[in-house]
Amino acid sequence: MTRTLLANRYVRLALVALVLLCGLLVLLAPATGLKTSGSTYSRAPEGYMGWFDYMQAQGTPAQRWRRPMAELLEQPPTAEPQTLLRIYPGLVNHYQINYDAWIQDWLSAGNTLIDLGLDSEITAAPFTTQQSSPFGAVTIKTRRRHNLPINSDRNLLGDSYGAIVWQRASDQPGKSLVVNTPHLAANAYLGAPGNYAFLADLATQGGGTIWVDEYLHGFKEADVIVAETVNNWGAYLAQTPVKVAAIQIAILLGIFLLSQNRRLGNLATVKAAEVDNSQAYIEALAAVLRKAESTSFLVDMIAKAERSSLQKALGFNEATTNEAALKAAWTQQTGQSNQVLTPLTQPPQTAKPPSEATLKAWLAQLQRIRQTPIR
């Protein structure tokens, strides 16, 4: 019973620990998996490390930006417009792209913004197509198209079904370019004739620095990580109501008390009882002999064994000693009457099986003889 309760308690503690571990893994998991799709740090087929290396080899290197986008405008002004390339991990809705004040400021300064992965309408176009471009065939794997005529000046790559790469209509000096697939120049298209070169041309048209947004994929500078961690925890604690905080503390305290439950003191390990093999053998043999009604055999064997033990104790050798000499030695060395040895020299008669009470009394007398001190 005790072992069962102890095992159940350990199972409950193990389940609580497992839940906490899963929670920590979710909270502390690094930015990997789908979020790194489109990252220039990723070697996966959907990553952009191949295109990033291609840009280095072409002499028009791109640089990774690992800080909040608002800080990009705080950089020292440059003579040439800059280009910001954002490759989303998957398709995003038009309204999900954050065209807030900093983006308007970015475009108003004459810079270029390129977004890859804008969700568009699904058309009847084949899933895989080869689009013509000045740099060779561009492999496109999507049926999504933007509703823009093929002869439009803003349609930079497309077919009769619509635009795949186009320029947004804007009254700003800068350009906002959109690609409706996030995989235009992914690692999977390393061998395609025109994919890498086409995106490289889009990124270099501005002539200035080319920035690739890696903050979007979870890659951040060390000081940014520290600042965001402090700010996030500070804001959380500042905005958390006292009641909610008290409940959270109570839950943590309850888990701690459950893990430290010691109502009756520290746990004591229950040791398994040691098995005496000799005792077990004797008890088993006795059960067999009793069932076989071998009382006479037992009485005879016990009497002989006790007599042999007494002879050795009195100084005789293992040879059989006559009864008179045995009694004389007994009286001389113990100072007791030789009548004490009667149960040993005259065991119970076994012609008729003695009762259990008679046998117990006889065994008790033999035990007294064995315990008598011998000088």
* 162-182: pLDDT as tens digits: 999 999 988 889 999 999 999
Q: How confident is the model at residue 32 (pLDDT cuts 50, 70, 90)?
A: very low
- What pLDDT score does 31 carry? 44
- Answer yes or no: do 80 and 196 share one domain: yes
The answer to whether position 129 is within a domain reads yes
Residue 257: its pLDDT value, please? 73
Please report whether residue 98 resides in a domain.
yes
Write down the pTM of the prediction.
Answer: 0.56
**pLDDT tier, 90 (very low <50, low <70, confident <90, very high otherwise):** confident
Cα torsion for 155, 88, 216, 175, to the nearest 10°? Answer: 0
Distances (CA, A) of 149 to 110, 115, 161: 26, 20, 8
pLDDT score, position 250: 81
Residue-wise pLDDT tens digits, 198-231: 999 999 998 899 999 999 999 999 888 888 777 6
Q: Would you place residue 158 in the very low, low, confident or very high pLDDT band (cuts 50, 70, 90)?
A: very high
Question: Is the pLDDT score of 189 beyond 90?
Answer: yes
Q: Are residues 70 and 202 in the same domain?
A: yes
- Print the domain residue range for 61: 33-218
- What is the pLDDT, as a whole number, of residue 321? 72
Is pLDDT larger for residue 354 or for residue 83?
83
State how far the Cα of 68 lies from the Cα of 216, in Å rounded to an integer. Answer: 9
Mean pLDDT, to the nearest integer, of 308-314? 79
Report whether pLDDT(77) > 70: yes
Write b or e for each residue in 64-78: b if 16 or more Cβ atoms lie within 10 A of its Cβ, otherwise e.
ebbbebeebeeeeee
Does some domain include residue 19?
A: no
Number of domains in the chain: 2
Domain check: are 185 and 310 in the same one? no
The helix or strand, by DSSP H or E, that contains position 278, with its residue range, turns out to be helix 277-291
pLDDT (0 to 100) of residue 302: 80
The reported pLDDT for the residue numbered 312 is 82
Inform me whether the pLDDT recorded for 18 exceeds 70. Answer: yes
Q: Are residues 212 and 327 in the same domain?
A: no
Q: What are the two backbone dihedrals, phi and then psi, of residue 77, each rounded to the nearest 5 degrees?
A: -60, 145
- As a whole number of angstroms, the distance between CA 245 and CA 240 comes to 6
**pLDDT averaged over every residue in the chain:** 82
Same-domain check for residues 160 and 42: yes
Predicted pLDDT of residue 262: 59
> Would you state the pLDDT for residue 343?
77
Is the pLDDT assigned to residue 315 strictly greater than 70?
Answer: yes
DSSP secondary structure letter of residue 126: -
**What whole-number distance in Å separates Cα of residue 263 and Cα of residue 333?**
60
Residue 61: pLDDT band with limits 50, 70, 90: very high
Which of these three, 202, 218, 234, is where a domain ends? Answer: 218
Across 51-55, 241-245, 246-250, 354-358, the highest mean pLDDT is recorded for: 51-55
The pLDDT of residue 21 is: 67
Burial, 82: exposed, middle or buried (Cβ in 10 Å; 0-12, 13-18, 19+)? buried
